[in-house]
Amino acid sequence: MEIPSEKHPLQPFLPANARLLMLGSFPPKRERWSMEFFYPNWINDMWRIVGLLFYDNKHHFEVMGEKRFDCEKIVAFCREKGIALYDTACEVRRLKDNASDKYLEVVTSTDVPALLRQLPQCSTIVTTGEKATDTLCALLHVPRPAVGAYSDGECEGRKVRLFRMPSSSRAYPMSIDQKSSVYRILFEYLGWL
């Protein structure tokens, strides 16, 4: 029996002022969500990493006493900074019943050039994991950077710099402090830290 495919449950988040396009692979199953936004899984550390770097508080984007993130606070932060978010796949098959990138089969890749056309100020892209990096590198014909490094490329005549960051999943074998120090490279490059 063929495994059914899943279409992306969220629309791309594309603030007009975005200078950074952040691309993961694909959201976890909805029952793992703690909010209706990107990196929604309570045990994913993306918003803790961002809280640590920008506010010196990994709990900054959490709703105190509840196991969920403050979606409004995160959206406001991303709008203010100019962070666009989506994923490198808009349709996948889960080969196992989990959120692991290892068991995601990309059915349809995201049209990243179409996203960039809506983001005139954006020339920096970050991938947050191996599957996202591999998918984007194949799409844009950009050399695959090492974790914490970048590669320069071009998309429809626009120069783009692709940073590869470690996965914010707890399955990735780095502490939150180690991950934060790698993400700092990206945000310092943008002049935000």
- Report all structural domains of the chain as residue ranges with CATH numbers, in order of start: 6-189 (3.40.470.10)
Cβ pair 104, 95 in contact under 8 A: yes
Q: Closest Cα to residue 99, out of 160, 29, 171? A: 29
Assess contact for 78 and 10: CB atoms under 8 A. Answer: no
Can you spell out the DSSP letters for 122-134?
Answer: --EEEE-SHHHHH
Number of other residues whose CB lies within 10 A of the CB of residue 134: 17
Low-confidence ranges of the chain (pLDDT < 50): none
Q: What is the structure's pLDDT at 193? A: 95
Residues facing 33 on adjacent strands:
41
pLDDT at site 1 = 73
- pTM attached to this predicted model: 0.94
Other beta carbons within 10 angstroms of residue 24's beta carbon come to 24
Q: What does the pLDDT read at residue 98?
A: 63
Report d(CA 53, CA 34) in Å as an integer: 22
The per-residue pLDDT for 99 is 60
Q: Determine the pLDDT at residue 103.
A: 76
Q: Give which of 187, 158, 7, 107 is closest to 179, Cα–Cα.
A: 187
Contact 8, 87 (CB under 8 A): yes
Residue entry with tokens 């976890």: 28
**pLDDT at residue 175, as a whole number:** 95
